[in-house]
């Protein structure tokens, strides 16, 4: 049961990744500076703007909530069979009609909690992005110092 719960948690965490990736494409060549100043990096500004946008937050919360509902109703037998074929000894055979919703009825509340909490989490992510932006000069300085401190053959590895 714990493995199934972990599988659901991993799937639930992975679901929003493509949706977040569609929010903004970041150009690695764009300049970065301190958020909230005139020198703010444009990519970070756009990301913070999207993560802070209530409409985007609501759309993503709705999407992830619906996808979570779908995950609750997916048959788990094929997953268990694949694990067994891969040699996972603890993979049990389960009936074909088994779903996460049937195994863990309390999981019914998860989509609603996601819908309620995702906008807040996106706001927190926007704040963290601003914080990371502010830390960039210090991180670049640290990378330079580490490169100088490492032996030459290690410092040039990609």
Partners of residue 99 on adjacent β-strands: 75
Nearest-angstrom CA–CA distance, 70 and 23: 22
Nearest-angstrom CA–CA distance, 87 and 39: 54
| Residue 16: both structure tokens together | 């929003």
* pLDDT tens figures, 50-99: 999 999 999 999 999 999 999 999 998 888 888 888 888 766 678 889 99
Among the listed residues 102, 101, 105, 96, the one whose alpha carbon sits nearest the alpha carbon of residue 69: 101
Phi, psi of 35 (to 5 degrees): -65, 145
Partners of residue 75 on adjacent β-strands: 99
pTM of the model: 0.56
């Amino acid at each position: 049961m714990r493995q199934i719960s972990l599988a659901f948690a991993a799937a639930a965490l992975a679901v929003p990744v493509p949706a977040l990736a569609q929010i903004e494409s970041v150009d690695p060549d764009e300049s970065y500076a301190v958020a909230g100043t005139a020198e703010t990096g444009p990519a970070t500004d756009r990301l913070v703007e999207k993560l802070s946008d209530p409409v985007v937050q609501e759309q993503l919360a709705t999407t992830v909530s619906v996808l979570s509902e779908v995950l609750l109703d997916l048959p788990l037998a094929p997953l268990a069979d694949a694990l067994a074929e891969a040699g996972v000894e603890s993979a049990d055979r389960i009936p074909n009609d088994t779903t996460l919703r049937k195994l863990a009825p309390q999981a019914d509340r998860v989509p609603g909690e996601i819908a309620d909490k995702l906008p807040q989490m996106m706001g927190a992510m926007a704040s963290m992005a601003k914080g990371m932006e502010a830390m960039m000069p210090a991180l670049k300085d640290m990378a330079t110092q580490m490169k100088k401190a490492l032996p030459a053959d290690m410092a040039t590895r990609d």
